[in-house]
Structure 1
Amino acid sequence: MEKTEANQCLGVNDPLPNLIERTNKYLLDLRLAHWLTQKQYELLCVKPSEAKLAHLYYLPKTHKPGTPFRRIVSGLKHPTIIISTYLDQLLRPLFNKIAFKTTTTSGFKVIKQVNEWSTNNLRKETLLCTIDVADLYTMIPQTEGVLVIKKMLDFLELKQIGGLKIEAIIRLSRFVMRNNYFLYEGQYYHQIRGGAMGSLLTLTIANCHMFFFERNIVKQITNAGGLYLRYIDDMFLIIN
């Protein structure tokens, strides 16, 4: 946590009751302003008896030198999880639509595409390169993360998705990104930069951010007859 400086320690004061209250009030304000329908409002509201703050834990990356740790914020009952999941269900299919040529979800797909490319393009001077983005989830500024959603929706020329207006999507995304709280070793923390690794919405935002970041790179590689593929923060390119 010290490395990324993405979290603010709140001490031992539990932010959960206030977060539940603020989440439901924010949803009510959106309902009264007609950004949400009654059905959407009821779907997204937090039930205090079912809400629980997220907690932080670490998993070792055994495949990397020095065995570094991957941080996971588990928030299956976090007050914003319903909003996050709802938004992700709307946004992820759109991302998959625009990025299917350059993203991959399996090693099998990578091997298949490399084999196809190699049939006519493999030479002695062919360069194979892997690139990893360090701390992607915590390095994306929260405001920029929300704006990249707007950028994707503008790119697709959409005014609403699933009966939800774009402005409502942006407002809800901003609220989720700014309200990641978790418990770690008896201390409460507020994430002030990036999104929670473990949140579905954070994954989609990270993917969208990378999609627009890499567009010029992809263009240069494909124009040169190369191949570029990415899985979240891991990139692979092959080029002469």
Structure 2
Amino acid sequence: MSTLLSDSKTCEKLDRDPTPKHKRELVSILQRLEKEDKIKKADKQFLYPTSENVPRIYGSPKIHKDGTPLRSIVDFTGSIGYNVAKSLADILSPIVGQSEHHVLNSKSLAEDLKDVTLEGDEILNSHDVVALFTSTPIDLTLHILKERLNEDKDLKNRTLLTTDDIIELTKFCLATVAYFSYSGQIYRQCFGMAMGSPLSSLACNIFMEWLEQKAISTAPESCRPRLWKRYVDDVLKIIRKGQVDNLTDHLNTIDPTCYETPPYHPQYACSPEGQTSPATKSRDDL
């Protein structure tokens, strides 16, 4: 974990606990929203930061990968923005997962694939999004979210908050209170989002839906996937043989921080394209 926190591009040490300052900022926003009749008194009481726990980071071992690297997770329970993030997730959840590429769970994926057959020049292959949460740009995600909210005709039936109000609160949860403690030291996350917030997974999905739509629509015909299904940061696709590298190169022109293909990365136990016999099935090439 110390190695992860030593990356200055991702984290920086703070000299003091920013919780009191950010609590005043949140209280000011909530008071304004109540005054404008956008939240009721009961809503304000739920959102009001009565607990001031500093979020804490811990590592969850990825036992399925070589070297057992750690997945960093931040526990936001009891932090000043936790209830706000939970409420925003409820408001925003209906606009996520409407894409044809979205996978809800393994059952829905099996249903999607039950009638799919491969042509002789095709393979079933996967891509993995590298460090999705810490690679997702917050400003761009907020821009995408604003566009989606402006198009959401049902938003007014779910909340009295305006699009600008939601963006303000979302930015507070994802960027302003993006700090955590480890071994008595407080750090601020400099880029991306922290896994563990009730809002970050949803925000990452919003970004990925935009990214994949752009990537697929602009992919050269020769390497354009015939099928693309994504569950959070794992993508299953049908692509022509010999085109995996070309597709990876294209994906990285859309956002060079995100994509890489497992068959050529040493941390994955997968067979490279072209080395899988018809009788052998691996996670990435069929």
> Is TM more than 0.5 here?
yes
TM normalised by structure 2 equals 0.72
CA–CA distance in 1 between the matches of 2:40 and 2:24? Answer: 20
Fraction of identical pairs, as percent: 25
* CA displacement, residues 51-107 of structure 1 (integer Å, 9 cap, x when unaligned): 3111000011111222221100011111001110000001012213x22x2111323
Greater relative CO (CA pairs within 8 A, separation 6+): 1
Two-structure CA RMSD over aligned residues (Å)? 2.4
Flag the 1:163–1:25 CA change in 2: closer, same or farther, 3 A. Answer: closer
Residue of structure 2 aligned with 1:174, choices 160, 164, 171: 171
Helix, strand or coil at the partner of 2:201:
helix
Q: How many residues align?
A: 231
- 1:72 alignment counterpart: 73
Residue of structure 2 aligned with 1:152, choices 148, 152, 165: 148
Question: For the Cα contact (< 8 Å) 1:35–1:168, is it kept in 2?
Answer: no
Structure 1: any 5+ residue segments left out of the alignment? none
- 1:117 alignment counterpart: 116
Helix, strand or coil at the partner of 1:152:
helix
- 2:26 alignment counterpart: 23
Partner letter of residue 63 of structure 1?
A: H
TM normalised by structure 1 equals 0.85
Question: For the Cα contact (< 8 Å) 2:216–2:225, is it kept in 1?
Answer: no
1:1-240 → structure 2 map (5 Å cutoff): 1-3=5-7, 5-11=9-15, 13-33=16-36, 35-47=38-50, 50-96=51-97, 98-99=98-99, 101-118=100-117, 122-157=118-153, 160=156, 161-178=158-175, 179-219=177-217, 226-240=226-240
CA–CA distance in 2 between the matches of 1:5 and 1:192? Answer: 7
Partner letter of residue 171 of structure 2?
A: R
Partner letter of residue 181 of structure 1?
A: Y
Partner letter of residue 8 of structure 1?
A: E
Question: For the Cα contact (< 8 Å) 1:36–1:168, is it kept in 2?
Answer: no
More divergent stretch after superposition (210-219 vs 82-91): 210-219
* CA displacement, residues 169-190 of structure 1 (integer Å, 9 cap, x when unaligned): 1111111122122111110012
CA–CA distance in 2 between the matches of 1:6 and 1:37? Answer: 38
Question: For the Cα contact (< 8 Å) 1:117–1:227, is it kept in 2?
Answer: no
CA–CA distance in 1 between the matches of 2:32 and 2:10? Answer: 29
* CA displacement, residues 125-181 of structure 1 (integer Å, 9 cap, x when unaligned): 212221111112112222222222112213435663422221211111111122122
